[in-house]
Structure 1
Amino acid sequence: MSLLHMAWRNLVNRSIQTLITIGVVTIGVSLTLGIMLLSGGVKQGIIKASEPFGMIVGSKGSANQLVFNTIFLMDNPLANIPLDYYHTLETDPRVAQAIPFALGDNYQGYRIVGTSPQFFELKGRPIDPPYFQLEAGRIFNKPYEAVIGAKAAKETGLKIGDRFISGHGVARSIEPEGEHKDHPYTVVGILRSVSAPADQGIYVSMDSYWISHEHHEHDEGDHHEPVQNAVDSDEHGDHEALGVTAALIKPASYMDLMKLYQEINQGKEAQAVFPGQVIAKIFDMMGSGEEILQYISWVVLGMAGLTIILALYGSTVERRRTVSILRAIGANRNAVFTIIFLESVLVVFLGCAGGVLLGYVLSWMLAQYIGSQVSITVSITYSWKLLTLIGGVGLLGILAGIVPAISAYRTDAARHLNANI
């Protein structure tokens, strides 16, 4: 019988104690691995969601709220910036592109976003293809045509050609608002999934947004002016009411970007926000919670090591006569040391294997839940940190196995055999 087989049989003979010890190691490894996988996956998902958005300009208030409004389609919208101010940005020679972004209505809880066709041309980098791609249909080209995000289309069941009535506000409406029933939307396009919060949006023209809020009084068949001309029309009346929640700004150059950022924030009309700066603060907040959870997981792993020591040491004390018999029939001290040490190695190996499996399963389940709630892709992929984790747990197991192995090595065979005669 090999020493490894003997070590395995010893563990099987103490099955309850062995399972408890393996369970503690499994929990420690799965908790640590889950924290690593989820934190990294969430960060990558947030970064991916913000890729196409440059500088965001909105009304004075919380920068976090402005980013959550535009990128994550969450939180209550800030007050609108006046349309004439937006028009000033749009015509500024330092601005290569200004895209309106307006919130205020919803359909079954999915936010209706007023914007322009240029929104669908946004790119993460100049060399990248457009971030938003059509799965079916086309982009809207007149009022009350809608392009639906992938998740919004899936959850609502809307298809090309379907019509729907919006509800007022960004929260789910039980019944559509009465004034909206005269202006149903028609689905003309469905976006390909980008695995980001944008999948939850329903995108319509700015004219649709203004008409639905009773800022337009056109007869059926009237021409509706585009956003860049709307400010010049007397029909539109109050320019402040004809505002936009935010403007997505692409500068002509980096120097222009920094000048615009300073000028806007020094003024009283609006604020300019770099999503990357806000996201960095979010990561800092995540890091504090992640650090606490990591401390907890290392404490659990430390308890696992202590459990291994106590379990093997206790079994060694109980089996002194067995060890003495092994010595008496020819097993040397090194063989006894190896058997006890191999028991520790087996426990750690099984605990790590179970921990890795459980960690990936739980991480995948949580990633699916997070994705279903906020449409952020949480990628659960192989991490090189896994090798560090397994190496650390393996070292912990080696150290934990040495103490009882040394105890068995030093067992006085003659004394324990005589004591049981």
Structure 2
Amino acid sequence: MGLVIHALVCLLGTGSWVAVNGIWVELPLLVPSVPEGWFLPSCLTIIIQLANVGPLAVTLAHRFLPGRLGEVGVIYAVLCVGTLACLLLAAFWQETSVVGGSPRSTALLSLLFFLALVDCTSSVTFLPYMQSLQPRYLNTYFVGEGLSGLLPGLVALGQGVGTFRCHGNASQAGNDTGPRRAEYEEARFSVSAFFLFLGGMMALCLAAFVAYIFVLLSWVNALTNGILPAVQSYSCLPYGNLAYHLSATLAALANPLACLLGMCLPNRSLVLMGVLSLAGTLLACYIMAMAVLSPCPLLLQHGPLGTVLIVVSWVLFVGLLSYVKLMIGMVLRDEGHSALVWCGAVVQLGSMVGALTMFPLVSVYNLFQAGDPCATPCAH
């Protein structure tokens, strides 16, 4: 487990300055394509200094509002902003608008400010957060911080940043005469792809900072509250009305029974939660497969075996994941009020993402077809 934490802390460290460092090494490809030209580096320097408003605000908040500003919430915010800014840069970095009668890279400069804000603020949030971990992980964090400059440089090197040839005017004798100029060669992949790489690095940093337990919580709630309820009728009705009503009723009964079992036999093991979540996910895959195959599922459409399997799958699916949700709630309750607030937020986020994912699949693209319990059995 110590090695896992070292890896996660290292990934967190890479998010500290990876965005700004990436911009600096990408300048040779940015400069020829923006109206600012080689004034862009000086603009970037000013932007970075302006972005120090972020650490200043955090410092003042700690001074005048002690105990009210938690580093965890700020770190989540800055990492989300950094990831989103990189993705927006990939799409809009070449967009310009007229300012003062001249074209300006407003999208690029604005998004660079947010990236600089993220990186500057990381200096006053990441390190204080490291106090909550054992001292031996601090060195690993600094290793990751060092990699935040090395990794973009290596990627830019592979991209071919700064590769050029010197050209001049050719004389009749074949010699170059007159002033020579640099002609940059085409990169192996685009600037937008490089920004997507930076966005991926920021997303990895965010994923490393999320507690394993919140990932489980969001996934479990996405399945139980958003994804599977949208296809319950498609998965059950091909087996008849009895299968649908039994699955709905017994699955609803499985929820309180699982919670009662959790109160009598609590188990806070993260490994067990992961195993149960995996089992619930496999059951969800079977249920989803039957919904996709509706109105002609594979197993004995009007026979008892298919009905039993779909009903048992729904009951076990709801029961296992209800137990997992209860155990996660008990773990987070021990962590205090802030952890429970995040618990509620993650529950709603997972449910929303699951529901928003399934709505277009079910209602817009019509990927699922309802089964008719009175229809003639399908031939396989």
Structures share fold, TM-score greater than 0.5 = no
- Name the structure where strand makes up a greater proportion of residues: 1
- Name the structure where helix makes up a greater proportion of residues: 2
**Greater relative contact order structure (CA < 8 Å, 6+ sep):** 1
